[in-house]
Structure formats: C-alpha cells, structure tokens
C-alpha cells in the first residue's frame, strides 16, 4: 500500500558488488541497533503491540528505501522521523476513526497507555502509585511526551521527531505533564508545596 509515496524503486542504481556490500554493512550498523528502541517508541505511539510491530516494519522498509538520502543525520533521529512519516501515511490510508475505537479495539492496552479517568488520590498511597495514577490520568498528548522522554529515554529532539512537532512543544507538554503529576503528589501529601512551575 505504497501508492501514496513517490516511487523510489530505484534504490539500487547501478552498484558494484563492493558498493552494495558497503551499503549493506552501513545499513545493518545504522539500523539494527535501533530496532528495540523503535519498537519501544512504537508501543508508546500506538499503544497496541500488533500495530507497533507493523509500524516498525513499515519504518524499516522506509529506512531501507531511503537509506541513501539520510544525509548524515543521526541514525536515531532519522529513524524516528521516518517512523512519524510512516505513521502519518498509515493513518491517512486508514482514514479518520472515532476516538472511542481505541477502547473497543482488539488487543490489550499496556498499563498507563490508554486514557483512564482520574482516580482520586488516597492518603497512604506510595509515591510510585500516585505517579502511576497521575500518568494514566494525563491527556494522551502529555502522556506520550512523558513516556517518550522518561521511559523510552529519547532526547527532546528525538521525541519531537517521532511526534512530528517542535522541540518547544515537547518541552512545554513535558513541563505541563510533570506539573500535573506534581500537583497530585502534593494533594497526597507526598511532596511539599504547590507545584506552580
């Protein structure tokens, strides 16, 4: 289903066996170490293991097709940008779907990924429990950024690339998300102060 893309079947223009071997070595070196990271990020973005794996396959195929056009970009940043493009294309092909589908769709949602109504904070809960509750209660756009940076270990630039947004937006969402978590912790008496930052 690649009819939306420019035809790039000429990945392999005339190459000597040596060039081909060199390109293969470079591709393997650049891409294989990042597969696990790609799957982790895809899980954050799709919240569904089956879709995450499909998204990574699509990203890898795209990486293979466009490998010669990465122009010296950091492999990770480049791959995450490709993943964003792949995801955008897939969504476009699938067409819009109602938000509620996410709840009704097949396959389990990993903990803390699907939106959950905010549970009340109960005194005596541990710091980690309150953080979990607060994370689950965050709007998706905030939770994704927290997961990408804190759990998936991406830099701001990488998170921005994988979401197709500016670093400034990533920063601002991260700040708001953490502030909300902090406010809930303060309500549970687990951190001092009002968390007005």
Partner 1 sequence: MTCRQAGRVLQAYLDGETDDATARRVAVHLEDCRRCGPEARAYREIKRALVRRTEPDPDAVERLRGFARGLLQHETEGEGEEQTPVA
List residues near partner 1 by CB under 8 A.
1-2, 9, 11-12, 20, 24, 27-28, 31-32, 35-36, 38-40, 43, 49, 51-54, 56-58, 60-61, 64-65, 90, 93-94, 110, 127-128, 131, 135, 146, 149-153, 155-156, 171, 174-175, 178, 181-182, 185, 191-193, 195, 197
Q: How far is the CB of 64 from partner 1 (least distance, A)?
A: 4
Q: What is the chain's Cα-based Rg?
A: 20
* Residue number with CB closer to partner 1 (115 or 156): 156
Q: How far is the CB of 114 from partner 1 (least distance, A)?
A: 15
* Residue number with CB closer to partner 1 (51 or 74): 51
Q: How far is the CB of 144 from partner 1 (least distance, A)?
A: 13
Q: How far is the CB of 62 from partner 1 (least distance, A)?
A: 8
Q: How far is the CB of 104 from partner 1 (least distance, A)?
A: 18
Residue 180: both structure tokens together: 């909300």
* Residue number with CB closer to partner 1 (73 or 91): 91
Q: What are phi and psi of 171, to 5 degrees?
A: -60, -45
CA distance 157 to 166: 8
Helices 49-66, 35-46: inter-axial angle, 10-degree rounding: 130
CA distance 196 to 183: 8
* Residue number with CB closer to partner 1 (57 or 141): 57
CA distance 148 to 67: 24
Q: How far is the CB of 85 from partner 1 (least distance, A)?
A: 13
- The answer to whether 79 and 31 are in contact (CB under 8 A) is yes
* Residue number with CB closer to partner 1 (27 or 115): 27
- The answer to whether 165 and 177 are in contact (CB under 8 A) is no
CA distance 21 to 50: 32
Query: Which of 18, 103, 91, 33 shows the shortest CA–CA distance to 63?
Result: 33
Q: How many CB atoms lie within 10 A of CB 83?
A: 25
């Amino acid at each position: 289903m690649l009819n939306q893309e420019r035809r790039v079947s000429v990945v392999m223009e005339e190459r000597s066996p040596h060039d081909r071997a060199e390109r293969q070595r470079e591709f393997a070196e650049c891409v294989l170490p990042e597969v696990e990271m790609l799957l982790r990020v895809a899980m954050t973005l799709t919240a569904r293991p089956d879709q995450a794996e499909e998204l990574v396959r699509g990203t890898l195929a795209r990486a293979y097709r466009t490998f010669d056009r990465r122009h010296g970009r950091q492999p990770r940043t480049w791959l995450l940008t490709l993943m964003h493009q792949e995801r955008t294309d897939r969504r476009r092909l699938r067409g819009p779907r109602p938000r509620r589908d996410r709840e009704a769709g097949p396959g389990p949602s990993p903990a803390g990924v699907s939106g959950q109504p905010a549970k009340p904070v109960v005194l005596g809960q541990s710091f980690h429990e309150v953080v979990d509750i607060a994370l689950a209660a965050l709007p998706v756009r905030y939770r994704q950024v927290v997961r990408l940076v804190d759990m998936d270990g991406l830099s701001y630039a990488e998170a921005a690339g994988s979401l197709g947004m500016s670093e400034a937006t990533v920063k601002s969402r991260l700040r708001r998300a953490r502030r909300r978590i902090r406010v809930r912790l303060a309500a549970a008496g687990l951190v001092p102060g009002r968390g007005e930052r």
